[in-house]
Amino acid sequence: SVARRTDSSIPGVARLISELTDELARLRQGGDELPVVDVEIRLSPGTGEYRAELTLDGRQVFTGVLPVAIVNWRPSGDLRTDGQSLFERLFQDRVIRKGWDVARGKAESLGAIRRVRLRIDDEATELHHLPWELMCDDGLFIAANAQTPFSRYLPVQASWGHPLLERPIRVLAAIANPRDVSQRYRLTPLDVERERYILASAFAGIDPQHIRLSFLKPPVTLERLAQALQKGYHWLHFVGHGWVNARQAQLSIILENEQRESRAVTAHLFSSILTHHGAQPQLVFLSMCHSAVTQASRPAQDPSLGLGPQLIRAGIPAVVAMRDQVSIRTTHV
């Protein structure tokens, strides 16, 4: 799940993650970047229904409705079936579906990718609880298809991000694996060496003059992470565990102390540290369960209170986070 900020009149920071992705692909292939067809889908409250608006490349607008009954949607347990169901409900309005088909046709004719951005207004936050990332079109998961990079947008008042012109793009990887995480929280310990190998392999084919990966040496404490970020990293890739306190409906990030034992850090404190003194990264990747939402036990509350949205509202232009529990194996894909 990708949480980002949005604005109806300015090209948003959704471009940030996509540009980083495009840069990786271009550097590996040695060619030019593919053209992009921009698709923004905006959902807002209406009278007895939701308003749906699909904007193509910031110019062509298709307006329709989404039945309010969508909030009662329930998963069947089969991801592909659920994804197709969500897709059909979102695009059941014939005008909105026409916009989607026009975007697909344009992308195919240009050999372009479709950058899909879902914008949910603050007055319709209940729609954030639906797993839109599962949407399937013709049997393909939109968010998992390289031809249709998908992101959610959050409206915020902070200043906008901008393309990274500085090179190399500096990536800091932090892998937190307290030695007592199994006994204290009943969480599976990480294989740190394997995590390092997977990350290093992913960046191995890229010229370090363009993108450079560094690892934070253990122990991964809050203080050491804050000190490292002061060196001006553009991208933080955090691998670790999240733990939800069901009684308080609060997410904690499990970091380490100087003795390599567990230290639970609240989402609020973690986001404050990452944005301290204006040295925040432009992109944060959270390979951590529940990092996109903390209100798992209180679904009626505002889902934007999670760690990912908190980081966005604190000034991080783009965040990749997990909306639920994920297996360690899944994070390696």
Residue 191 contacts by C-beta under 8 Å, 6 or more apart in sequence?
none
Asked if pLDDT for residue 302 goes beyond 60, the answer is: no
Residue 278 has what pLDDT?
64
Number of C-beta neighbours around residue 139 at 10 A: 8
Which range among 18-22, 89-93, 125-129, 284-288 shows the weakest confidence by mean pLDDT? 18-22
What residues contact residue 238 under an 8 Å CB cut-off, 6+ apart?
173, 174, 176, 253, 284, 285, 286, 287, 288
pLDDT digits (tens, 9 = 90+) for 182-196: 999 888 899 999 999
Asked if pLDDT for residue 48 goes beyond 60, the answer is yes
* Mean of per-residue pLDDT scores for the chain: 82
65 alpha-carbon distance from chain centroid? 26
- The token pair at 87 is 């897709």
Element (DSSP H or E) covering residue 331: helix 328-332
3-class state of residue 259 by DSSP: coil
Looking at the DSSP bridge assignments, the partners of residue 137 are 140
Instruction: Determine the average pLDDT of the residues in 263-282.
Output: 83
Give dist(CA 258, CA 221) in Å, integer: 7
**What is the pLDDT, as a whole number, of residue 328?**
60
293 pLDDT above the threshold of 60: no
Tell me if the pTM is above 0.85.
no
pLDDT band at 12 (very low <50, low <70, confident <90, very high): very low
CA distance 270 to 79: 32
Q: What is the mean pLDDT of residues 99-114?
A: 95
pLDDT over 90 percentage in the chain: 49
Question: What average pLDDT score do residues 44-71 get?
Answer: 94
Least confident range of 125-134, 226-235, 241-250, 267-276: 241-250
**Under 8 Å between Cβ of 309 and 262:** no
Inform me whether the pLDDT recorded for 33 exceeds 80: no
Using one digit for the tens of pLDDT, what is the confidence trace for 107-165? 999 999 999 999 999 889 889 889 999 999 988 999 989 899 998 887 776 665 666 77
Which pLDDT score, from 0 to 100, does residue 32 have? Answer: 52
User: What are 155's two structure tokens?
Assistant: 């409206």
Cα–Cα distance, 323 to 317 (Å, whole number): 18
How far is 20 from 22, CA to CA, in rounded Å?
5
Average pLDDT over residues 35-55: 94
pLDDT at residue 69 in the model:
94
List pLDDT tens digits, range 184-239: 988 889 999 999 999 999 888 888 898 999 999 999 999 999 999 989 899 999 99
Q: Which residue has the higher pLDDT, 22 or 124?
A: 124
